Amino acid sequence: MPDAVQAFRLLLLHQGDAADPELIHWLKDRMDEILGLGPWTMVGAMGAIVIAIPLAIGLFYYYQQRRGGTL
């Protein structure tokens, strides 16, 4: 059986849950212990990352257009 067909079948059999809630809780507790940051600090950091990625892509595109180069 070709790999593409086999990969598609595996996708169909994949469990629909996003993640194990116990694992997520454990990871959150470990991150809080290691980093010592509050929950709002993490929300702010993740929000900054979410905003920074498309902003960086836009700035890269703008820079490339000003140089006259092609991607």
pTM for the structure as a whole: 0.50
Do residues 64 and 71 touch, judged by C-beta distance below 8 A? yes
Q: How confident is the model over 2-36, as pLDDT tens digits?
A: 687 877 777 777 666 677 888 888 988 888 888 88
Place of tokens 């809780």: 25
Task: Say if residues 31 and 45 touch (Cβ distance below 8 Å).
Answer: no
Tokens 């067909």 locate to: 5
Are the C-beta atoms of 3 and 10 separated by less than 8 Å? no
The rounded distance, in Å, linking the Cα atoms of 71 and 67 is 11
- Does residue 71 carry a pLDDT above 90? no
Q: Where are the domains of the chain?
A: 39-71
70 Cβ contact partners less than 8 Å away, ≥ 6 residues apart: 64
